[in-house]
Structure 1
Amino acid sequence: MTTSMNRIGVDIGGTFTDVALQYSGGLSTCKVLTNYSHPEQAILDGIKLAAEKAGIALNDIGQVIHGTTLVTNALIERRGAKLAFITTEGFRDVIEMRSENRFEQYDLNLSLPKPMVPRQDRLTLNERMGPNGEVLLPLDPAEVDEMVQTVLAGDYEAVAIGLMHSYANNAHEVQMAEALRAAAPELSISISSVISPQMRELPRFNTVIANAYVQPQVADYLGRLVARLTEEGLDAPVFMLHSGGGLISVETAAEQPVRLLESGPAGGAIFAADFARAHGLNSVLSFDMGGTTAKICLIEDGAPKTANTFEVARTYRFKKGSGMTVSTPVVEMVEIGAGGGSIASIDSLGRIQVGPRSAASEPGPACYQKGGTEPTVTDANLLLGRLDPDNFAGGAIPLSAANSDSAIAAKLADELGTSTEDAAFGVTEMVDENMANAARVHTVENGRDIEHFTMIGFGGGAPLHACRLCEKLGIDDLLIPPGAGVGSAIGFLKAPFSYEATRGLFQHLHQFDAQAVNAALQELENEARLFVEAGAKDAPKTSRLTAFMRYSGQGWEIPVSLPYKEFADADKAEILVAFEAAYQTLFGRIIDGLPIEITNWSLVVASVLPDVDRVTPHGAGKPAEELRSRSFYDAAQRKQVTAREIARSAMTPGAVAEGPAVIVENETTTIVTSAYRAIGQGDGSLLLRRKGDTA
């Protein structure tokens, strides 16, 4: 993997498109508003701006790394292909029956999300594989031919094939797919044994459906993007950041777009993990707040926590269980509709609510002066003095305090019978409390005590809110890295080339079959290395193995990290110890006497990144030079406070900004509340530490 060439990372968010260009002179960054109708245009505009600032020609850029919300947005907004789903007779309604979990227990009028494929488009084959791959009912070639004609007559743009137990034997899926490709080569076809070869038919079916649903759109978009880059003279290979936090080729992304579901947020987690390693932090809470959403992720021992399932398109205010569960490798995080563009409103009980609706970039918050009339978090921050209307996004977007005042007065303050300042405070306090609650739940679910963590805040909105969040959570230390406003895009540049291959292989631990496991792991390694070699042929590789295990009778598994090696039957004792340690960490106790099962295996092959340079901590030194005096609303004190405004460039190693203070830069603004002080660090980071602690 070449690191000396000029490389650019581009993250398309719901409001801004962030660009980070790494070149010999350092790092050039910028933010431009996302173009919803032509997202590739915002990418080009941002790349040109960053290259111009760096003094680099477009044809001198050697690599483009991209992350996009296109897949997530297409699933949420139901803007995908006309799709047929082919499954085993008797199982066409699995995706509609779901898990039968009532995610809102006391709602008598509970409305379940509609399945991605209507019932009339769910087609069945009279075939059956057994859980061990045995053929219980052969697939009749005549029925295959009949199904091909049905699909052709339906004028479908894409087909998803998910047959029972195809993770154990995919012969029938392959037979059906080959017949369709022979009859209609232009048809987009996804099979579950390639997209998600794991146990559990509901997430496996959902995953192959999601992949097929967005594949034509994503392939078209990526094709347009590569063509436009080439037209502009940027003829460099394009790689995509996948949800698991690694890079894959644009060709792989076009074939398996479901792997891009959380590509942008995953870049943020990689960004935070890099700084956690540099600062020697083993327990970190990553806080990424952009224009549309806020993401919170646990990072331990320098690596973000990952999972093999993810829920997308939740219909009940981001409530777990109300969305579509897909099984694809993902950096595990909690995501809520709390960004700078999140819209504030009054609910039926007269309370301020924030999100999940967002003003996004079109029309944007009221203060953007682009036609928006709804009050947003950005409007509230502007009225509370936390943003400079003349220096937002480096002055590229002038803000109108009058527009913000009008929006908050009309939609909030007048209805509540309060001042616009109090209404604005209510908006920011509500969004901060929503994020704090999400962080508490996320850490508790993972068996952690949040007050022992250090927060790393990034994204355009996080530095504005992170200090208040730390006050609510009892966190003493907060780190704001350099380039925080475009953190995800920078994270793309720090990501390894990686691929996670998965396979369902059910075994009782006491009957552990090492030979079968070793054969499956060899297949996983061959699959993963094939994809990684495409981008990092000569780089050293590392492998990470995870077994998904449970006590017999339990409904779900936990991930158990294991050494990647050739197993022997006697290694079941070692696997037992690893499982019990993982179970103890999550639940506080183990269960004696119950047999243990292994359901799925996961192997990640990744290129090895260079070691990070360790940062020497700097204690408090001399006060940083002040630009001017200004005021902002301190939530903890419930009043306006006089603060020092300090340029980020003045926060040299050891320089101190005693709170209350406002530290300004082009891409974001850091609010230091009265309870904290900021200390410049050697790598350009800001360490915000609670006063009274040793600096």
Structure 2
Amino acid sequence: MTTALRLAIDIGGTFTDTVLVSGDETILASTKTLTTHQNPAEGALEGARRVMAQAGRSLNDVTGFIHGTTLATNALIERRGAVVTTVCTEGFRDILDIGYERRYSQYDINLEKPDMLVPRERSLTVCERMSAEGKVLIELDEGQVDRLLAEIDASAAEAVAICLMHSYANPTHERRLRDLMARHRPGLTVSISSDVSPEAREFDRLCTTVANAYIQPLMDSYLTRFVDQFTAEGVTCPILMMTAGGGMCTIGTATRFPIRLVESGPAGGAILAARIAARAGLDQVLSFDVGGTTAKLCLIDKARPQTSRSFEIARAARFIKGSGMPVRIPVIEMIEIGAGGGSIAGVDRLGRLTVGPKSAGSEPGPVAFMRGGIDPTVTDSDITLGYIVPDTFAEGHIQLDPAGAKAALRRVIGDKLGLDATGAADGVSRIVVESMASAGRMHAVESGKDLGPRTMIAFGGNGPLHATRVARSAGVSRIVIPPNPGVGSAVGFLFAPVSFEIVRSRYSLLDSMDMDGMNALFDTMIAEAKEVVAQGAGDAPTETLRTAFMRYSGQGHEIEITLPDRALTHRDIAQLTAAFEREYRKQFSRPVPGMKIEILNWAVRVATPGKAVPVVSETPGQTAFQVTQTRPITCDLDGTVKQAAFVARADMCPGDYVAGPALIHEPQTTTLVSADFSAQMDAIGNLVLIQDQKGGA
């Protein structure tokens, strides 16, 4: 019997990560290739060919294929999507301009408003109206469709986002308008809010629909080319896409709802970190994923990443809520900043050293890559400080020019600030590390949590390289580096379930709920979700999670409460009341007596069940690793040159211990063990770094 082979490909802003795994979850081969932005499938194909050659197999042997990409995210951030026109109910043309009716920074006289992608001149309306209960108040005026189409033609729109009032309660008018447009303009991409985000709050619903329409033509074209190229190479199994919520979906679903692909790569990393936390028995974890373009941090408790129903795209002010475009989809909640290996360093007009958020990416890349880059980056500084050794970088597929990196640091930074190349590199390192640590602290504070007792799980091409420096600044004293950390997000894809989540808005007071109506709504939602999951999982068994978003009457935000996986009865009201008050007490110290509880949204998540993760609690005895090689590095504690142990991770066995400073290298990354840390390999192959002062200055 042929062993099952599963392939995972994660296309990032700088590198494309590829992993090949056998049926027993053994990693057979992995590699990193530079992302080819003109046609991302080319870099992915190179990686696939490379891992297949390493394993001695061919692509037609692959039985499972999971893909994640930053293309949707980057298109939104870089504003490279389609020309979009909106169609709203007459009288509601200015939803995007009005927003939440507040300024995200009240006293900033130079406030920059977030770009909502659609200017007022492309905001169109149609005569119709639904009530909040879904009753037709004004019939859709189909006689206006010809006018709408003429205005859309005049605007040169490539996509249309339709968001009519209260369509979440009754989507009839939206669907009719979509069908009429499809009949008269078959080449026009149309997204309707009742499909994309059928929830109350028209501003968020419209923003999500606009974002979906904005990237839909691009993603449709990209996914079609991607599938065609891999099919031509011999792939016969379906290709599944990673979603922002930590599940997988089919290409067809991804094409309909490309907004769900935003942040799909980072979601894979959070899944990996949660799995590692479960195996190691860690209850409180900080996931730390750094690639070439961004750093992503996620809080994980009891092996479950934090999740959210909303996030913001392209904030005008990086750390201020409300300064971006809100999107309501299921997501793994994390904070992401423009700080990675390719982040460009420079000196601003005030003479301050700056790093990021602009990245050199893979084209042209850092100066040391010798691909035309002229601006120094974080990678150039790590090379100059001795943390990256050219002989072991990227499996030898990328040649480095350390002299070029030093020259760029001296020219762009050193000459302006009176520093040599090493001093400039040290400054770049300290600034990018503090940016990452600050993001982690802010994310923890916003979540009402503390980083101190947490274990950091670091991965990505640059995560292990920066882990000890960021942990020290963030107040974290224990770090875990998993096997194959350089391709961690791609590895995480392989443990994701096939899943789909649906949310519907239907207002109800808890104590007077229409149980028959709610159960009928759940039956419809579950059937829809199961149909989507079956497209990717066939007749595999599934699990269903039902939730309600509850609040006290008159409040503006809801708390997610898990419901029984069965039909609701009036006997459940007391249990749901108690569950809501327990959760409310956790978040706000005490419940509010005498207040009625109302429910705005109902959600269903159907997913294939995950495999049980065995906890490995054994601790191997400590054995001092015999160091035979050293490399000079600039110590990140005091800036002096020290000899660091130079160790191949493949040579280490469970229990082996190395005191810092040390560089533990492997094919796709290097772990820097700072002078105040030590590293030991645990029973399952993780490197565990402890801040124990050994070797400290």
TM range (shorter): over 0.9
Do 1:318 and 1:337's aligned partners in 2 also have CA atoms closer than 8 Å? no
Query: Residue in 1 aligned with 2:357?
Result: 356
For 1:284-295, list aligned pairs within 5 A: 284-295=285-296
Query: Residue in 2 aligned with 1:527?
Result: 528
Can you list the C-alpha shifts for 1:20-39, whole angstroms capped at 9, x where unaligned? 01136642100000001111
Query: Residue in 2 aligned with 1:64?
Result: 65
The range that moved more, 6-15 or 127-136, is 127-136
- Partner of 2:118, secondary structure, is coil
Do 2:219 and 2:258's aligned partners in 1 also have CA atoms closer than 8 Å? yes
For 1:284-433, list aligned pairs within 5 A: 284-317=285-318, 319-433=320-434
> Is 1:5 aligned to 2:4, yes or no?
yes
> Is 1:281 aligned to 2:279, yes or no?
no
Can you list the C-alpha shifts for 1:582-611, whole angstroms capped at 9, x where unaligned? 233334444444433322122111101222
- Partner of 1:390, secondary structure, is helix
Query: Residue in 2 aligned with 1:476?
Result: 477
Instruction: Check 1:424–1:100 CA distance in 2 against 1; reply closer, same or farther (3 A cut).
Output: farther
What is the identity, as a one-letter code, of the residue corresponding to 1:266? A
Can you list the C-alpha shifts for 1:152-175, whole angstroms capped at 9, x where unaligned? 555532211110110001111011
Instruction: Check 1:654–1:69 CA distance in 2 against 1; reply closer, same or farther (3 A cut).
Output: same
Do 1:222 and 1:254's aligned partners in 2 also have CA atoms closer than 8 Å? yes
Counterpart CA distance in 1 for 2:320 and 2:344 is: 18
What is the identity, as a one-letter code, of the residue corresponding to 2:5? N
Can you list the C-alpha shifts for 1:490-535, whole angstroms capped at 9, x where unaligned? 1111111011111111223343333332222222211111111112
Query: Residue in 1 aligned with 2:82?
Result: 81
Counterpart CA distance in 1 for 2:674 and 2:156 is: 60
- Partner of 1:464, secondary structure, is helix
What is the identity, as a one-letter code, of the residue corresponding to 2:10? D
For 1:100-499, list aligned pairs within 5 A: 100-152=101-153, 154-317=155-318, 319-499=320-500
Can you list the C-alpha shifts for 1:361-411, whole angstroms capped at 9, x where unaligned? 011111111111112111111111111022211221122221111221122
Instruction: Check 1:458–1:587 CA distance in 2 against 1; reply closer, same or farther (3 A cut).
Output: farther
When the two structures are superposed, what TM-score results if normalisation uses the length of structure 1?
A: 0.96
Do 1:81 and 1:214's aligned partners in 2 also have CA atoms closer than 8 Å? yes
What is the identity, as a one-letter code, of the residue corresponding to 2:9? V
Shift of 1:479: 0.8
Counterpart CA distance in 1 for 2:269 and 2:394 is: 19
Counterpart CA distance in 2 for 1:314 and 1:489 is: 27
Instruction: Check 1:27–1:392 CA distance in 2 against 1; reply closer, same or farther (3 A cut).
Output: same
Counterpart CA distance in 1 for 2:595 and 2:373 is: 59
Query: Residue in 1 aligned with 2:676?
Result: 675
Do 1:128 and 1:138's aligned partners in 2 also have CA atoms closer than 8 Å? yes
> Is 1:14 aligned to 2:13, yes or no?
yes
Counterpart CA distance in 2 for 1:266 and 1:326 is: 16
Do 2:468 and 2:672's aligned partners in 1 also have CA atoms closer than 8 Å? yes
Shift of 1:455: 1.0
Can you list the C-alpha shifts for 1:407-433, whole angstroms capped at 9, x where unaligned? 211221221222322221221111111
Instruction: Check 1:347–1:513 CA distance in 2 against 1; reply closer, same or farther (3 A cut).
Output: farther
Query: Residue in 2 aligned with 1:603?
Result: 604
Do 2:292 and 2:342's aligned partners in 1 also have CA atoms closer than 8 Å? yes
The range that moved more, 100-109 or 405-414, is 100-109
Do 1:446 and 1:586's aligned partners in 2 also have CA atoms closer than 8 Å? no
- Partner of 1:181, secondary structure, is helix
- Partner of 1:507, secondary structure, is strand
Query: Residue in 1 aligned with 2:552?
Result: 551
Do 2:161 and 2:209's aligned partners in 1 also have CA atoms closer than 8 Å? yes
Shift of 1:123: 1.0
The range that moved more, 278-287 or 513-522, is 513-522
Query: Residue in 1 aligned with 2:637?
Result: 636
What is the identity, as a one-letter code, of the residue corresponding to 1:648? R
- Partner of 2:272, secondary structure, is helix
Shift of 1:627: 4.2
- Partner of 1:644, secondary structure, is strand
What is the identity, as a one-letter code, of the residue corresponding to 2:37? Y
What is the identity, as a one-letter code, of the residue corresponding to 2:38? S
What is the identity, as a one-letter code, of the residue corresponding to 1:17? T
Do 2:116 and 2:207's aligned partners in 1 also have CA atoms closer than 8 Å? no
Do 1:625 and 1:650's aligned partners in 2 also have CA atoms closer than 8 Å? no
- Partner of 1:469, secondary structure, is helix
What is the identity, as a one-letter code, of the residue corresponding to 1:160? A
Do 1:457 and 1:484's aligned partners in 2 also have CA atoms closer than 8 Å? yes
The range that moved more, 583-592 or 285-294, is 583-592
Do 2:115 and 2:324's aligned partners in 1 also have CA atoms closer than 8 Å? no
What is the identity, as a one-letter code, of the residue corresponding to 1:556? H
Shift of 1:566: 1.8
Do 2:281 and 2:617's aligned partners in 1 also have CA atoms closer than 8 Å? no
Counterpart CA distance in 2 for 1:270 and 1:201 is: 32
- Partner of 1:285, secondary structure, is strand
Counterpart CA distance in 1 for 2:145 and 2:684 is: 62
- Partner of 1:618, secondary structure, is coil
Counterpart CA distance in 2 for 1:690 and 1:464 is: 15
Instruction: Check 1:415–1:552 CA distance in 2 against 1; reply closer, same or farther (3 A cut).
Output: farther
Unaligned runs of 5+ in 1: none
Do 2:665 and 2:671's aligned partners in 1 also have CA atoms closer than 8 Å? yes
Counterpart CA distance in 1 for 2:573 and 2:649 is: 54
Instruction: Check 1:584–1:437 CA distance in 2 against 1; reply closer, same or farther (3 A cut).
Output: farther
- Partner of 2:329, secondary structure, is coil
What is the identity, as a one-letter code, of the residue corresponding to 2:12? G
The range that moved more, 44-53 or 422-431, is 422-431
TM-align CA RMSD: 2.0
The range that moved more, 180-189 or 255-264, is 180-189
Instruction: Check 1:291–1:319 CA distance in 2 against 1; reply closer, same or farther (3 A cut).
Output: farther
| Paired residue total | 692
Can you list the C-alpha shifts for 1:111-143, whole angstroms capped at 9, x where unaligned? 212321122221101111111111121112322
Do 1:548 and 1:600's aligned partners in 2 also have CA atoms closer than 8 Å? yes
The range that moved more, 623-632 or 62-71, is 623-632
Instruction: Check 1:232–1:583 CA distance in 2 against 1; reply closer, same or farther (3 A cut).
Output: same
Counterpart CA distance in 1 for 2:34 and 2:247 is: 26
Counterpart CA distance in 2 for 1:333 and 1:454 is: 16
Counterpart CA distance in 2 for 1:445 and 1:319 is: 11
Counterpart CA distance in 1 for 2:591 and 2:625 is: 53
Shift of 1:619: 4.2
- Partner of 1:451, secondary structure, is coil
What is the identity, as a one-letter code, of the residue corresponding to 1:431? V
Counterpart CA distance in 2 for 1:631 and 1:570 is: 70
Instruction: Check 1:202–1:40 CA distance in 2 against 1; reply closer, same or farther (3 A cut).
Output: same
Instruction: Check 1:445–1:561 CA distance in 2 against 1; reply closer, same or farther (3 A cut).
Output: farther
Shift of 1:544: 2.1
The range that moved more, 650-659 or 587-596, is 587-596
Do 1:643 and 1:659's aligned partners in 2 also have CA atoms closer than 8 Å? yes
Do 1:145 and 1:179's aligned partners in 2 also have CA atoms closer than 8 Å? no
Shift of 1:692: 7.3
Query: Residue in 1 aligned with 2:616?
Result: 615
Instruction: Check 1:384–1:106 CA distance in 2 against 1; reply closer, same or farther (3 A cut).
Output: farther
Counterpart CA distance in 1 for 2:563 and 2:284 is: 21
What is the identity, as a one-letter code, of the residue corresponding to 1:295? K
The range that moved more, 406-415 or 553-562, is 553-562
Counterpart CA distance in 1 for 2:129 and 2:19 is: 51
The range that moved more, 679-688 or 281-290, is 679-688
- Partner of 2:575, secondary structure, is helix
What is the identity, as a one-letter code, of the residue corresponding to 1:12? I
Counterpart CA distance in 2 for 1:89 and 1:58 is: 53
What is the identity, as a one-letter code, of the residue corresponding to 2:246? G
Shift of 1:554: 3.0
Unaligned runs of 5+ in 2: none
